[in-house]
Chains A and B, each alone.
Chain A
Amino acid sequence: MIVAIALAIAAFLVAFLVIPVASVVYTAFSTGAGGFTFGHFASFFQISLMRESFWNSLYVAGMSVFFASVIAIPLAYFTVRYRFRGALMIQTLGVLPLIMPPFVGAVAMQLLFGRSGSVNLLLSQWFDWRIPFMQGLNGVIFVESLHYFPFILLNLVVALQNIDGAMEESAQNLGASGFRLFRRIVFPLAMPGYVAGASLVFVKVFDDLGTPLVLGTTNMLAPQAYLRITSVGIEDPIGYVISVIMILFSVAALWMSARILKGRDYATLQRGGSSLQKRKLSAWQAAAAYTWIGFVLLLVLSPHLGILLISLSKVWSFSVLPEGFTLAHFATVFTESPRMIGNTLLYCGLAALIDVILGAAIAYIILRTRLPGRQLLDSTASAALAIPGVVLAIGYLRAFKGLELPFFDSAFTTTWVALMIAYAVRRLPYALRSCMAALQQLHVSLEEAAENLGASKARSVRRVVVPLMAGGILAGFVTSFITAAVELSATIMLSSSASLAPMSYGIYLYMQSIAGRGPGAALGVIAVVIVGLGTYASYRLSNRSDSWTR
């Protein structure tokens, strides 16, 4: 029974994760005739646009990490070091950006911080001076750092909290204080947490397709992969080369973070010491801290505010604020595309359901059985984290080319099933983590008791294990659901018809309308509300505020 389930899961993972990714890698290295070649890589680096895209992607990811750090490090330090009420605000700060898909925020940021955005209009009125926040790569960096800094913040807070207070005291006894203490003792000890967060930010930014596309910056790797595959065609080897490069960078960054996280466990083994001493803020320190928090809060809220303004505004052009407000855009969305909202609920719901079923099953197999090779299931499922959405979608288009399903009279890759499965595969690691955590907390004696009372294995799983895991399973479901609801990279490649498309694709499509971006923004607001509610639910359910950020 268990073996059959394990094999079924393995078959699913092989079919929808291993084979598509393998076919991408294979195509990148194969000559048309089937031989092995580095030729495609050589031609990739011969095209100056590709070289430029490569460096741009590295630059944008690196700079986003830098700016995200600038925002996150002070905030993390405040929470751990000082006793003050701003900590709650910082927690809120850690959640707000994540409920807004970055490509939605990007549009709002353009109107607020763009060349003739509100801020620059005011600046040029008052000082005759502008800041090129949103020009080219700057725009991508700005939007991405604001969106992803919580990854650094949350990881760093955990790391700082785990520092042994004795370390700090020894340093102080030896005469270190102030910034020197932070730079030489506190920060190096928190380094593992920082690197874990930073590498996540790097990967996310490196993979992101929606933000550069919405901002019209296409000389980066992810947009190039998308444009090559959709315009040159599925046979174009350069698209696959880009995909392989993206996988390599993702894997390298995640490997680094995993390695360093292992190191952190060692540090926390030192028991007995207290954590860093909390201090009270002096008046001017409090003022500085609150100013910084207020400033970041304002920046973080700007895309939310901007998108709300666009969704409610009649016309917003070359003015600080829109003139005239209307609810017409919401009416348009509800009359023209209720199906998109329905599609999102259906696809992401099914994907999340698949995720928790597979996640719970894998967790059970790993923690409760001695099946040989069971760790392989875990590592394969988790490997999906390192596969960019664009790459997985390209893999589907490649591996399932020409495949037709019964009941559907079109190719598999143009049906919503392909999209739904892509969501499920991409979000499986999230659900898996939740399920593993829930099952780990469940003592095996409960199942043994049930079995002693005569329940069969299946019955004890159904009546004891699953109900007791329900909280974790539900949290996993919500996490998978909300992250799938705002995913654009795979969506944009696998969606073909408007009537079968989910909301995220609808937002992208609506944002490209000459009659204004109102309806797109309205759809964006609805998405943010759905994701916000989901996030809150998952937070309440799991009580593990970090489970959905990884």
Chain B
Amino acid sequence: MRRRDWAPAFAGATMFAMLSSVALADTITVVTSFPKELTTAYKAAYEKKFPGDTVEILNKGTSAGIAYVREQSAGSRADIFWASAPDAFEVLAGERLLQKVEVPTGNIPAKVGAYPINDPEGMYYGQALAGYGFMWNTRYLQANKLLPPKEWADLTKAIYHGHVATSSPSRSGTSHLTFETILQGEGWDKGWTQILQIAGNCAAVTERSFGVPDGVQSGQFGIGIVIDFFGLAAKASGFPTEFAYPSVTAIVPANIALIAGAKNPQGGKRFLQFTLSEEGQQLLLDPKISRLPVLPAIYAKAPQGYPNPFDGSIRAKVNFDSNLSQSRYYLVSSLFDQVITFRLKELQAAAKAIHDAEKRLGTRSSAQLEEAKKLAWTAPVSAQQAQDKALLAAFAATKGDEAAVRRKTQAEEEWNSKARFNYLRAAELANAAR
């Protein structure tokens, strides 16, 4: 090819590229935090059923997804928001970014346990159910001669020290729900004690929720605290992992909603309806997806041993209160980060020292050890302080409010330094206990 022939070829390529990327009128844009196995399956099935429509997936973390929707102008926004954490939908609804939509929900029950599947206001719909539990790598446990845990309390035992992993609630909506469930199931004080004990046994607090199943899958960690589909899908994909629900767990819907000011609300509604239909629900049983449908009839087609939240095979003891969760969302996340995520090294050392002391002392009691336990396993915020309206307001405030920001920063620094001091002192005391 001679040089001058390049120009038309180049222009042609550009034109083609421009044309092919011009969005067609019936493109449905879906903002989701779900992995590509799930989105690919839904996109393929939906486009097969509605050949005129194209589904465009925007894969974003939950909080990044909210920011993305917020920053687009009305009329050119994406159409569908689809994610796990119910709190995210509350945030979007609160900012008037969701559009109420009437979709026949047919045979989908109103509640799972005591938790309403669909938003009572009709702003968003439950599309799948999810519970929290642990996933473990069978080879890892075997190599380290460990038995799989059954309850949250098991994870506090000395034998699991350094084998557990979890992710930070500030970064992961799913792990926020997990810890909020423990707090609601056990009560604030007892709940934090348990969370601190588990965290003391953690090898890592990953910054993304996916970091946990990923690490368990490859054997970097033995046991991970995960949302059920991570555990089920990993097993179904052939990894040597297992998953179980503890008795203190909550079954919570993963939701789907139409975004207000969407570019293609009609198409969006069609897609939303499809995900709730029998066909759409059936897709959830795909081994690589492994989610719990909201339509009870689908479970008849599920493979043997598939968990079913409607027949009592998951014993969910906690009735999750999402209002309570939302009221202290930022407080819980931030407290977790200050006393656990950023102080993990000191916390691990304290836990190790306490475990060692317990082993050394056997059944003998020691005032020093008791003191150490109290220091290490108590959160710097009491149940009463956690209800303090001013403190909660400071954490919920928008970033423009300078006084609130100062109050918040001050509280965070206080927790952080207190936690550090307590853990170091606890380790000292436990090591000295005779």
Instruction: List residues of A whose CB falls within 8 A of some B CB.
Output: 32, 43, 46-49, 52, 110-111, 114-117, 216-219, 227, 230-236, 314-319, 336, 346, 350, 353, 401-402, 404, 407-411, 415-416, 466-467, 496-500, 509-510, 512-516
Contact = CB atoms under 8 A, between A and B. Distances in A.
Given A318-B140, A498-B59, A409 B18 contact: no
Nearest to A52: B342
Contacts of B400: 32
| 8 shortest interchain CB distances as A-B pairs | A318-B219, A231-B63, A116-B219, A230-B64, A318-B139, A218-B207, A515-B237, A216-B211
B137 interface: yes
Contact of B13 (A227, A232, A346, A416): A346
| Most B CB within 10 A of own CB, among A218, A336, A499 | A499
Given A318-B240, A515-B37, A116 B59 contact: no
Given A114-B220, A498-B57, 16 more contacts: A43-B405, A48-B413, A49-B337, A49-B342, A52-B342, A231-B64, A231-B66, A317-B217, A317-B240, A319-B219, A346-B13, A416-B17, A498-B39, A512-B35, A514-B233, A516-B237
A492 B246 CA distance: 37
A514 B64 contact: no
Contact of A317 (B239, B409, B413): B239
Contacts of A111: 218
Interface of B: 3, 10, 13-14, 17-18, 21-23, 29, 35-37, 39-40, 56-61, 63-64, 66-68, 70-73, 76, 137, 139-140, 143, 171, 203, 206-208, 210-211, 213-214, 217-221, 229-230, 233-234, 237-241, 263, 288, 337, 342, 399-400, 405, 409, 412-413, 416
Contacts of A230: 60-61, 63-64, 67-68
A466 B171 CA distance: 53
A318 B218 contact: yes
Given A32-B400, A318-B137, A115 B13 contact: no
A319 B240 CA distance: 11
A514 B14 contact: no
B409 A513 contact: no
Contact of A232 (B67, B143, B288): B67
Contacts, number: 152
| Most B CB within 10 A of own CB, among A48, A466, A467, A515 | A515
Contacts of B203: 115
A317 B215 CA distance: 10
A409 B218 contact: no
A233 B56 contact: no
B77 to A, nearest CB: 10
B219 A500 contact: no
A165 to B, nearest CB: 47
B76 A409 contact: yes
A353 B17 CA distance: 15
Contact of A496 (B58, B61, B219): B58
Contact of A316 (B14, B218, B399, B409): B218
B176 to A, nearest CB: 13
A346 B35 contact: no
B63 A514 contact: no
B59 A509 contact: yes
B35 A231 contact: no
25 contacts: A32-B400, A111-B218, A216-B206, A227-B171, A230-B61, A231-B66, A232-B67, A233-B67, A233-B70, A235-B399, A318-B139, A318-B240, A319-B139, A409-B22, A409-B263, A410-B23, A500-B21, A509-B59, A510-B36, A512-B214, A513-B35, A514-B217, A515-B37, A515-B237, A515-B288
